[in-house]
Amino acid sequence: MPSSEIITKKLDTSPHGSTASSGCRSDYALKCEVCAEDIRTFILGAKVCRACASFYKRAVLENLKYKCASGDYTCDTQGGRTQRIKCKACRYHKCQRANIEINVAGTAKDEGIGLTALSSTSEANLTPLLQELVKAYDEVAAAQLERVKEHHREINFTENTFVTPKKRFIYDIECHLLKPAIRFFEKTCKAYNKMPKDDKLTLINHVFVEFRNLHQAFLSKQYCPELDDPKVVFAPGYWADPFNIDYDWWFEGYVDKPAFNEYWNVVLPFTREFIDIIQKLKILQIDKVDTIVLIYMSLWKHAEYLNLYSKEMEEFKDSVTAEWMAHLDRRFGKETPVKLTSIMILYKRFDEIGIEYKNTSMQIKVLRNSGVNVVNCDISHLVDALRIADEV
């Protein structure tokens, strides 16, 4: 485990590293938001001292969890070093609130990370069709990152920089995934692109939840590949450990405080199941191509159900499936049949969790109808808005 001295050096590398955003903001009158120690500049994009920044970075990357000695998580950490070390749990929560940026480049042990990283097989070895799918999928993630940057202009985001945002920002980024998802299918599937606007929107309304869940699961595996890492990556730039967070702060502006517990009890089963599925995805070594094909399986399935499955779509499906099988063979050889069976079992769980999510959304609507002020990304309403818009 690295010493605090080593960690501090890592935080202060070069103007092009994770502290780039701090180099242009200097104020000798600043105080650390966590412990109130005097500071001269922002560290890791936040108004914190170097000690608190390194403490938080280590805790996040090593998935450390702390318990408050008093049990109420209201300990005073203000007062410099003497006060801040009294309760690690409260110090950790205050660091979360400060939006300290964490750069994960070079921290993954088993593979490269980033928007363009493709585990096990380089993109140069992919067929033209799979390359086209990967390129369009990367554009979805890139669009999300641009949205994240809009929300946090003070942070020097790169593709490997993350913060734990309030829940309302995660809600926003999930809602804004709808249009990039539509563009992804339009660019990669001629049969979808040729559909009338209403048919496109009807189909994406059914596919979206599985698209989002598969996308978030893959990002979580890509940026947090360790099996014991419980963090969920909601979009490039946004992650959180849902079971190690300051809920009063996280839900602020998203759900009424008196209803925090009621809301959390509604979403808890889905959250646990989703994290478990992410772990299975890591074990199976699901890569970007696998993820894209599973997303398309959802599209094909719902297209058939809605009588939107055309001959052209079937031909596209046959081409993608054949090239995917060759991709699996190159990676797993004789183990391909076993891997394929395991992947299809995993996809079934994504299908089931999509149904669970819809049930959860219905319960959230019941909460709202009972007078609880809770924000929820209702895809059906967003799709209906696109139906009357000039452009999708």
94 near 49, Cβ under 8 Å?
A: no
Per-residue pLDDT, averaged over 125-147, amounts to: 95
- Per domain, the residue ranges of the chain are 30-98, 123-388
- Supply the DSSP string of 45-112, one letter for each residue: TBS--HHHHHHHHHHHHTT-----SSSSS-----SHHHHHTS-HHHHHHHHHHTT--EE-TTT-SSS-
Nearest alpha-carbon partner for 227 in 291, 283, 285, 273: 283
CATH topology of domain 123-388: Retinoid X Receptor (1.10.565)
Who's near 187: CB < 8 A, 6+ residues apart? 132, 136, 139, 193
Tell me the per-residue pLDDT of 70-125, one tens digit each, with 9 for 90 and over. Answer: 888 889 998 777 778 889 999 999 999 999 999 987 654 444 555 555 444 445 58
- Supply the DSSP string of 135-187, one letter for each residue: HHHHHHHHHHHHHHHHH-TTS---TTEEB---HHHHHHHHHTTHHHHHHHHHH
What is the helix (H) or strand (E) element at residue 39, kind and residue range?
strand 38-41
Cα separation, 299 vs 218, whole angstroms: 18
Task: Give the distance, in angstroms, between the CA of residue 3 and the centroid of all CA atoms in the same chain.
Answer: 29
Q: What is the pTM of this model?
A: 0.85
In this structure, the number of other CB atoms found within 10 A of the CB of residue 229 comes to 21
Per-residue pLDDT, averaged over 253-268, amounts to: 83
- At residue 21, the pLDDT reads 42
What is the helix (H) or strand (E) element at residue 232, kind and residue range?
strand 232-235
- At residue 227, the pLDDT reads 93
- At residue 84, the pLDDT reads 81
CA distances from 270 to 107, 118, 124 (A): 29, 28, 37
- At residue 12, the pLDDT reads 38
The encoded tokens of residue 78 equal 């203000």
Per-residue pLDDT, averaged over 232-250, amounts to: 94
Per-residue pLDDT, averaged over 125-132, amounts to: 93
- Does position 370 have pLDDT exceeding 70, yes or no? no
- Of the chain, the end-to-end C-alpha distance in Å amounts to 50
Tell me the per-residue pLDDT of 322-353, one tens digit each, with 9 for 90 and over. Answer: 999 999 999 999 999 999 999 999 999 998 88
- At residue 255, the pLDDT reads 85
Q: What CATH number was assigned to the domain covering residues 30-98?
A: 3.30.50.10
Q: Predicted confidence band at 1 (pLDDT cuts at 50, 70, 90)? A: very low
The encoded tokens of residue 110 equal 């088993």
Per-residue pLDDT, averaged over 51-80, amounts to: 90
Task: Give the distance, in angstroms, between the CA of residue 264 and the centroid of all CA atoms in the same chain.
Answer: 19
Who's near 261: CB < 8 A, 6+ residues apart? none
183 against 82, higher pLDDT:
183
- Does position 22 have pLDDT exceeding 50, yes or no? no
Cα separation, 23 vs 43, whole angstroms: 9
- Does position 299 have pLDDT exceeding 90, yes or no? yes
Q: Predicted confidence band at 254 (pLDDT cuts at 50, 70, 90)? A: confident
383 against 7, higher pLDDT:
383
Q: Predicted confidence band at 241 (pLDDT cuts at 50, 70, 90)? A: very high
The encoded tokens of residue 14 equal 């070069």
Tell me the per-residue pLDDT of 199-228, one tens digit each, with 9 for 90 and over. Answer: 999 999 999 999 999 999 999 999 999 999
For a pLDDT cut of 70, what percent of the chain falls above it? 83
Query: What is the dihedral sign for C-alpha 288, 292, 295, 301?
Result: negative
126 dihedral zone (left: phi>0; alpha: psi -120 to 50; beta): beta
